[in-house]
A and B are shown apart, each in its own frame.
Chain A
Amino acid sequence: MTAAVFEAEGLSKKYPSGYALDQLNMRIEAGDVYGFVGENGAGKTTLMRMIGGVVQPTAGTIALFGEQAKERLIAARRRIGFLIERPSLYPHMNALENLGFYCRIFGVRDKGRSAEVLRMVGLSESGPKKAGEYSLGMRQRLGIAVALLNRPDFLVLDEPVNGLDPAGIVEIRHILEQLAHERGVTILISSHILSELQLLAGKYGFIHQGRLIKEISATELQQSAQVMICITTSAPAAAANMLKQELQREDIRINKAGEIELPRDGVDLEHLMSLLVQRGVPIDGFNLTAPNLEQYYMDLIGGGGR
């Protein structure tokens, strides 16, 4: 087996208030885009900070690019780009000056690199404006630019699209997709926007109360969740009862949006449509929902988490 980009074994972090991480085992292979999912305080940021070396584990071990010894682990971090929680920027410097500082930190000698990453994140027109005057979205973009500065092999991004407008979210997703597919950059990314995470990641880890409760690939997610049929009508209760009787199924229900919802499995769509038309059910909408990361997560956590 080749060395993983990141590997944690029995990793724990205990604070006076309790465990932030509890016996966590995790492995990220080279080229993975790993979506890290969990509620606030689940332990996502703690793990990312441990990867960054700013938080030390109470127990367990971390290996980066196969390196585990203290000095070699420190050196391995030179291959990583970070954006953890909020961008670390100097408010009295403009975008180029901030990147100038971090170029020196990373030892980046390529003089055009700062302009290149600014172009990538859409900040090339930011000019002399100081970072202290930036909007949350601009700060976030600059934080991502800092993370990309050293051409990392492994990107660790904690809520990178936080504060970005919808166009900005799409732009950042495209950048990350490009890095993953063209340069083979390994990415560990957390986000509360699960629909966005689903579009990007090929593997998901679900963390709950400091424990990694489930790991699943995008393919497994597709296979594990049911495709649902959603029917929007002005008379959902009567229509649902009619369908239960006609189709002899008990798993037909009305969801929170007031739509009739039933699993796709075992349903002849043509028969269903004709049934609705014959019985005069006014149909305002009819669609199939794809397997959903959000739903999967809610089922996982709602079902006790472990």
Chain B
Amino acid sequence: MRNLWQAEIYYLRKDLAFKSVTAVFALASFVLVLILGSNGGYALRSYAEPLKSAASFSILFYLVIPLHACFFATEGFEHGSVQNIIGAGHSRMKYFTSKYVLELLAALGWLLEFYGLFYLFYLAAALITGAPMGHAGFTADLMAGMTALGLNLLYLAAYCAAVMMLGMLFRKPASAVVAAFFFIFGNLLLSGYLKDSSSAVLRVISEYSLMTQILKFSGIYVAQARLVLLSDAGDYIRAVLIPVIWIAVCLRAALLALENKDIHI
């Protein structure tokens, strides 16, 4: 497993897609701080407020990282390296697991990069513009920011499990990316369109979709003209259980697909 990890890290270091995503999050953190400041200035209620503000842009992660996960999952089939890796005495399960864990580490790195840079840019902008900085609600803002960071990692794990499962099923990058697009935007549609459906079943599907939970913990979910946040323990348990079930089901399906199907390059 250690050999596989080292090889995959080596691959990512040379991978243009990995470098591009890293650059996108750096650029996005800068641009979003500019946009926020141009709308309402850089006044800070507390030093932790930028972390809470950064959480409201969570959706950006789900448009970019799952696509990288999809390419990363299928690159071995595209270039044929999976054949040599399995031929070199690595089990299929280890092959997939190493890729999945590494993608999660990359996702954690990108989350920290975005949050960190967003925070630094915001503070720098506040200092440069001489905006007022207070201490009110520091703990609440910090907790909100950290909760969003943790849940984002959990939900990215669920998204990556789903798209990497699609990668193992389709194997061809082009087909897998189309399927991943359907999954990502399908989730957006489930959350956005079905929440106001007249059908109770469709409303339940929308309520329990991954994207609805993401929008809730990001603080941007609006239903019936009302902002809905995660509030009680039940909400938090549901917000944790839904992605955990997705992860368990998708990883099992991915491993079954990889173990039981022949690999043809």
Contacts and interface: CB of A to CB of B under 8 A. Distances in A.
Contacts of A80: 87, 89
Contacts of A60: none
Contact of A84 (B15, B16, B79, B83): B83
A53 interface: yes
A88 B80 contact: yes
A76 interface: yes
Contacts, number: 85
Interface stretch (A32-40, A97-105, A120-128): A97-105
A190 interface: no
B11 A78 contact: no
B81 interface: yes
From DSSP, what is the main secondary structure of chain B's interface residues? helix
B89 A74 contact: yes
B265 interface: yes
A100 B8 CA distance: 11
Given A56-B262, A97-B14, A107-B3, A78 B89 contact: yes
Contacts of A71: 91
Contact of B14 (A75, A78, A82, A92): A92
A10 interface: no
A54 B83 contact: yes
A102 B14 contact: no
B86 A54 contact: yes
Interface string B80-100: 111111111111000000000
Counting contact residues on chain A (CB < 8 A from B), the size range is 20 to 34
Contact of A105 (B15, B80, B90): B90
Nearest to A79: B89
Contact of B89 (A75, A86, A87): A75
B4 interface: yes
Contacts of B11: 90, 101
B81 A92 contact: no
B265 to A, nearest CB: 7
A85 interface: yes
Interface in B1-50: 3-4, 6-7, 10-11, 14-16
A91 B249 CA distance: 34
A82 B87 contact: yes
B128 to A, nearest CB: 40
Contacts of B7: 101-102, 104-105
Interface string A23-49: 000000000000000000000000001
Interface string B244-265: 0000000000000000001111
B265 A85 contact: yes
A89 interface: yes
Contacts of B79: 88-91
Contact of B88 (A86, A90, A150): A150
Contacts of B3: 104-107
A88 B263 CA distance: 13
A54 B10 contact: no
Contacts of A56: 262
A72 to B, nearest CB: 10
Contacts of A52: 83, 86-87
Contacts of B4: 105
Which 4 residue pairs across A and B have the least CB separation, nearest first? A88-B80, A78-B89, A104-B7, A52-B87
Interface of A: 49, 52-56, 71, 74-78, 80, 82, 84-93, 97, 100-102, 104-107, 146, 150
Interface of B: 3-4, 6-7, 10-11, 14-16, 79-91, 262-265
Given A75-B89, A84-B87, A105-B84, 6 more contacts: A49-B263, A54-B82, A78-B89, A80-B87, A88-B80, A105-B88
28 contacts: A49-B262, A52-B86, A52-B87, A54-B83, A54-B262, A55-B262, A55-B264, A56-B262, A74-B89, A74-B90, A82-B83, A86-B80, A88-B79, A88-B83, A90-B81, A92-B16, A93-B14, A100-B10, A101-B7, A101-B10, A101-B81, A102-B84, A104-B3, A104-B7, A105-B4, A105-B84, A105-B90, A107-B3
